[in-house]
Amino acid sequence: MNTEYIGIIFMYLATIALAIPLGKYIAKVFKGEKTWLDFMAPLERLIFKFSGIDPNREMNWKQHLKALLTVNFIWLIYTFFCLLFQGRLPLNPDHNPSQTPDLAFNTALSFVTNTNLQDYSGESGATYYTQLYVLMFLHFVSAATGIAAMMVVFKAMKDKVTDKLGNFWDYLVKSITRLFLPLSFVVAVILAFNGTPTSFKGKDTIIGLQGDTIHVSRGPAAAMIAIKQTGTNGGGWFGANSAHPFENPNYLTNMVENSSIFLISVALVFALGFYLNKKKLAWVIFGVMTAGFLIMVFPSVIAEVNGNPGIAHLGVSQPGGSMEGKEVRFGPAASAMWGVTTTVTSNGSVNAMHDSMMPVSGMAQMFDMMINSFYGGVGVGYLNFYIFIIIAVFISGLMVGRTPEFMGRKIEAREMKIASLIALLHPFIILVGTSIASYVLVHYPNADWATKPSAWLNNPGSHGFSEMLYQYASSAANNGSGYAGLTANNIFWNVSTGLVIFVGRFFPIIGPVAIAGILANKKFIPESAGTLKTDTVTFGVMVFAVIIIVAALSFFPALTLGPIAEHFSLK
Amino acid sequence: MKTYILPSIKITIILLVILSGLYPLAIAGIGKLTPGHGDGETVQYKGRVVGYANEGQKFTKDEYFWSRPSAANYQADAGAGSNKGPTNADYLNKDVKGRIDTFLKHNPGVTKDQIPAELVTASGSGLDPDLSPVGAKIQATRIAKARGISEQQVLALVDAHTEGPLLGLFGPAKVNVLKLNVALDELKK
C-alpha cells in the first residue's frame, strides 16, 4: 500500500516542479520573448498567411470576444454536421452509424466548449474521421480558446490604461504551436511506447485462449489521449476513457496522464506571476488553489483506500481498498487522486468509474466542479478565479473601509454586477437543471419517451439523485466526467445538459474578459498606503472564504440530499 | 462581421490539416517503432495470437486463473464498468454475493475472508488485464488440482509473472492474467 501513496505524492510534487519553469516559459511566449521553440515561427507565419490574418493587429476586449465567438460558432456548425453524417464520411473502418440529431447537438456543444461530456462510446458512437478531424481538433482549439481569453485578462492587468489587448488569433495559434502541440506530442509518444494503439487499422477479431471470439477496438488513440489530458478536455477515444487498458496501459502512463491533467493549469498560475512580474500574487493564488485541492484529495484517498463497508459486510477482505469500478494496475489511491485532479481542472477524463466511488469521493468531485477554480481548466480556471478575486476585493474593501482596488484599478458597481451574475450563474444552472430532472422523474416516471424517466438512473436512493446532480455540475463546469450509470443518451439529457454546457462556457468567458477590458480603460491609481494589498496571505484567506461561502451556501442543500445522505447510510 | 468569419473559416481549415492530419500521422509513424507496431501488443500461444497483452479476457474454466468480474463481459469493443454505487443493496446482495458463492464453490478450502474484493467487484473498464498477486495466489489450489500439478508450481508461476511497483517505488504490484494463463498452458504436464 505504501508504494501507492508514494506514487501519488511523487506525481503531484513532480507536476508542481515542472509547472514553475513551464509557467515561466508560457509568460515568455506571450511576452514575445525568445524561447527554444522559436523554430515553430515559420509554421505560425504559414497559418496566418493562409488565413489572411495580421497577428500584430491589436484588438480591444469587444473585438476579442467577437473573434472568439465567431470562430467557436463555425466550429459548432462544422462539428454538428460531421457527427450527423459521420456514417457516410471517410475513415470509418468499423462502419459505425451516424449520430442522432440530439446526440450530435450534445456532442458538438460538449466538445466545442472543452467539456467532453460523452453520451456515446467512442468504440461504436464515433468514427476515426470524427475522432480525429472533429473531436481531437476541438481538443486543441477549445483549450486554446480558453488560453486566448485568459491572455486578454492577463494583458489587461499588465498595461496601464489601454485598449490594446493583443490579437486573439495570435494567442490562439501560439497556445497551440508553442504549448499544446509540443506537449501532446511528447505525451503521445510515451503512450505509444507503453502500448496505446497509434495505427489506423480497424477492429481486430481473434480467438481468445479459452476459445471465445473477441472483437478488439483499436485506432490512432495515442494522439488524441495526449491532448485530451493536456488541454483539460477529457473526452477519450474509448468509452471507458482512461480506465481502458489501451488508453492508459500501466502505472507509468497513469502518472504521465494524471500529471498532464493539471500541469498546464498550475503552470498558468505561475505564468501570471512571471507575466505581470507579481510573483507573490501568483504564490497567493497558487496557495489558495492548493489548499482547496488538498482538502478534497485527503478524504477521497482515505475513503477509497479504506474500502466499502458494504463489501466488508459481505465478509470478503479489501486489501486493495474499494475496487468496484477500479483497475488493479492503478489501485484506489491513484484512482482517488485522479478523481480529484480531473474534477478540479474541468478535465473530466476518468481512470475509475466515479459512479462506483465512495460518497466522500463523490462529494469531493462534485464540490470541485461546483467551485471550478482550484487550478481549473486551462485558461478558464483562472477566469473563474478572477471573478472570485473581484468579489473578494470588493467585500474586503468594504470591510476595512478602503476603496476596492485591484491592480491599480477601482472596482465599481458595473464590474461587481457582472462578477456577481457570473458567480451566481453557475449554481443557478446546476440546481435548476437538477430540480427539473428530479421533478420530471418523480412526477412523470412513465412518460411515453424513448427512454422513460424511470429508466434514467442506475442506482436507487440518494446515489441516484447524485447521478443527476453530478451530470449538471459536470456540464456547467465544462468538466465532462459523469456518474456514467445515468442513461444520458436521450432527448431530455442530451438537450438539457447541452444547454447548460453552452451557458456554463461562454458567459464565464465573456464576463471576466469584459471586466478586465473595462478595468483596463480606467484611470490607473498607483499603490499607496490606502491600497488594499492583494498579494498577502490575509487576502488569500479572504478569497478562499469567499469561494467556500458562495459555493457552500449554494450547494450544501443539494449535496446533503446526495452524497452526504449516502455517506450516513453506509453500513 | 466579414472581418471575423472569413479568417475563422480559413484558420479552421489549416489547423485541421496540421492538427488532425499531420499530427496523428506523425504519431502513427513513431508508433511503428513500438513493440506492438502501433496495432496493440499481442500475446501468442503455439504460434497463434490468443489475445492482446493489455486487454483482459474472460476465463471461467477451473484450470485457468479467473480474471476479475466484468460489467462488459470482456467485450473488447464495448468496455465499461458496472457504475453501481457503493450503497446499492440490490447489487451487493445479489451480484457480489453471487460471485462470492461461486468462488467458494469452485475453491473449496478458501474461506470468505480470504477472498480479496477485486475478485468479486467489476473493474472500471470491464477489460482489466490484471490481478493483484493475492488475487492470483488464492486460486492456486484450484488450478493445481484441475491440472494435476503441484500447488508450488502454480505459486512459483505467479511469482515469476508478478510485476512489482514501477521502479520498485510507485503503485501496486500486479499480474497479467492472460500471460499467466498462457504460461500455465506452456507448463509441461
Regarding whether B96 and B170 lie in a shared domain, the answer is: yes
Amino acid present at B72: A
pLDDT at A501: 94
Which of B48, B88, B129 has its CB closest to that of A459?
B88
Please judge whether B27 and A192 are an interchain contact, meaning their C-beta atoms are less than 8 angstroms apart.
yes
Name every residue whose Cβ is closer than 8 Å to that of residue A94 and which is 6 or more positions away in sequence. Answer: A123, A124, A127, A202, A203, A217, B77
- Mean pLDDT for A535-561 is 91
pLDDT at B188: 64
Regarding whether B98 and B76 lie in a shared domain, the answer is: yes
> What is the count of structural domains for chain B?
2
Measured CA distances, A498 to A62, A112, A435, A474, B115 (Å): 26, 11, 16, 11, 44
pLDDT at A96: 93
What proportion of chain A, given as a percentage, has pLDDT over 90? 83
> What is the count of structural domains for chain A?
1
Q: Mean pLDDT across chain B, nearest whole number?
A: 93
Q: Give the closest-approach CA distance of A46 to chain B in angstroms.
A: 9
Rounded to an integer, what distance in angstroms lies between the CA atom of residue A163 and that of residue A518?
9
pLDDT at A25: 96
Q: 10 Å Cβ neighbour count for A57?
A: 13
**CA angle at A275 for the pair A273 and A281, rounded to the nearest 5°:** 20
**Over the stretch A460-480, which tens digit does the pLDDT of each residue have?**
999 999 999 999 999 999 999
**Over the stretch A200-214, which tens digit does the pLDDT of each residue have?**
988 999 999 998 999
Cell of A560: 446533503
The β-bridge partners of A205 are: A215
The β-bridge partners of B43 are: B51
What proportion of chain B, given as a percentage, has pLDDT over 70? 98
Cell of B189: 504436464
Residues of chain B found within 8 Å of residue A123, distances taken between Cβ atoms:
77-79
Rounded to an integer, what distance in angstroms lies between the CA atom of residue A383 and that of residue A346?
13
pLDDT at B89: 92
Please judge whether B61 and A210 are an interchain contact, meaning their C-beta atoms are less than 8 angstroms apart.
yes
Regarding whether B80 and B34 lie in a shared domain, the answer is: no
User: Has residue A1 got a pLDDT over 60?
Assistant: no
Output b/e per residue, A215-252; b: 16+ Cβ within 10 A: ebbbbbbbbbbbbbbbbbbbbbbbbbbbbbbbbbbbbb
pLDDT at B168: 87
**Of A26-40, A148-162, A224-238, minimum mean pLDDT range:** A148-162
> Is the CB of residue B86 less than 8 Å away from at least one CB of chain A?
yes
- Mean pLDDT for A443-458 is 91
Q: Give the closest-approach CA distance of A167 to chain B in angstroms.
A: 12
Q: Label residue B1 by pLDDT band (50, 70, 90).
A: low
User: Has residue A158 got a pLDDT over 90?
Assistant: no
Top pLDDT among A162 and B51 is at B51
Helix segments in A161-250, DSSP class H: 168-175, 181-193, 221-230
Regarding whether B84 and B19 lie in a shared domain, the answer is: no
Q: If contacts are CB pairs under 8 Å, which of residues 34-53 in chain A contact chain B?
A: 43, 46-47, 50-53
User: Has residue B74 got a pLDDT over 70?
Assistant: yes
User: Has residue B3 got a pLDDT over 90?
Assistant: no
Q: Between A and B, how many residue pairs show a Cβ–Cβ distance under 8 A?
A: 388
Q: Which domain holds residue B25?
A: 1-39
Regarding whether B99 and B22 lie in a shared domain, the answer is: no
User: Has residue A243 got a pLDDT over 60?
Assistant: yes
Residues of chain A found within 8 Å of residue B79, distances taken between Cβ atoms:
123, 238-240, 244
Strands, E, within B31-143: which ranges?
42-45, 48-52, 130-131
Regarding whether B29 and B115 lie in a shared domain, the answer is: no
User: Has residue A571 got a pLDDT over 80?
Assistant: no
Helices A279-306/A537-559 angle, 10° precision: 40
Q: Which helix (H) or strand (E) holds B163?
A: strand B162-163
Regarding whether B109 and B21 lie in a shared domain, the answer is: no
Rounded to an integer, what distance in angstroms lies between the CA atom of residue A484 and that of residue B77?
17
pLDDT at B189: 55
Please judge whether B123 and A325 are an interchain contact, meaning their C-beta atoms are less than 8 angstroms apart.
yes
Q: In angstroms, how far is CA A277 from the centroid of its own chain? A: 27
pLDDT at A260: 95
Phi, psi angles (nearest 5°) of residue B10: -65, -45
Residues of chain B found within 8 Å of residue A221, distances taken between Cβ atoms:
none
Rounded to an integer, what distance in angstroms lies between the CA atom of residue A432 and that of residue A430?
6
Q: If contacts are CB pairs under 8 Å, which of residues 407-446 in chain A contact chain B?
A: none
SS in 3 state form for A377-446? CCCHHHHHHHHHHHHHHHHHHHHHCCCCEECCEECCHHHHHHHHHHHHHHHHHHHHHHHHHHHHHHHCCC
Q: Label residue A159 by pLDDT band (50, 70, 90).
A: confident
DSSP class per residue in B52-79:
ETTS-----STTS------TTTT-TTS-
> Is the CB of residue A568 less than 8 Å away from at least one CB of chain B?
no
> Is the CB of residue B152 less than 8 Å away from at least one CB of chain A?
no
Rounded to an integer, what distance in angstroms lies between the CA atom of residue A260 and that of residue A184?
9
Regarding whether B122 and B30 lie in a shared domain, the answer is: no
Q: Catalogue the long-range contacts made by A25-34 (C-beta closer than 8 Å, 24 or more residues apart).
A: A26/A179, A26/A267, A26/A268, A26/A271, A26/A274, A26/A275, A27/A270, A27/A271, A27/A272, A27/A273, A27/A274, A27/A275, A28/A274, A29/A174, A29/A178, A29/A179, A30/A151, A30/A154, A30/A166, A30/A171, A30/A174, A30/A271, A30/A275, A31/A275
- Mean pLDDT for A186-197 is 95
Please judge whether B118 and A322 are an interchain contact, meaning their C-beta atoms are less than 8 angstroms apart.
no
Residues of chain B found within 8 Å of residue A458, distances taken between Cβ atoms:
83-85
Regarding whether B102 and B174 lie in a shared domain, the answer is: yes
**Over the stretch A258-280, which tens digit does the pLDDT of each residue have?**
999 999 999 999 999 999 999 99
User: Has residue B187 got a pLDDT over 90?
Assistant: no
**Over the stretch A313-341, which tens digit does the pLDDT of each residue have?**
999 999 989 999 999 999 999 999 999 99
pTM of the model: 0.94
**Over the stretch A108-122, which tens digit does the pLDDT of each residue have?**
999 999 999 999 998
Q: Mean pLDDT across chain A, nearest whole number?
A: 93
Name every residue whose Cβ is closer than 8 Å to that of residue B153 and which is 6 or more positions away in sequence. Answer: B144, B187
Residue to test with chain A: of B90, B123, B127, most A Cβ within 10 A: B123
Q: If contacts are CB pairs under 8 Å, which of residues 63-82 in chain A contact chain B?
A: 66-67, 70-71, 74-75, 78
Q: Which helix (H) or strand (E) holds B153?
A: helix B151-161
Rounded to an integer, what distance in angstroms lies between the CA atom of residue A109 and that of residue B174?
40
Regarding whether B181 and B107 lie in a shared domain, the answer is: yes
Cell of A410: 477601482
Q: Which domain holds residue A119?
A: 2-569
Regarding whether B119 and B70 lie in a shared domain, the answer is: yes
Residue to test with chain A: of B25, B27, B43, most A Cβ within 10 A: B27
The β-bridge partners of A214 are: A206
Which of B41, B58, B126 has its CB closest to that of A195?
B41
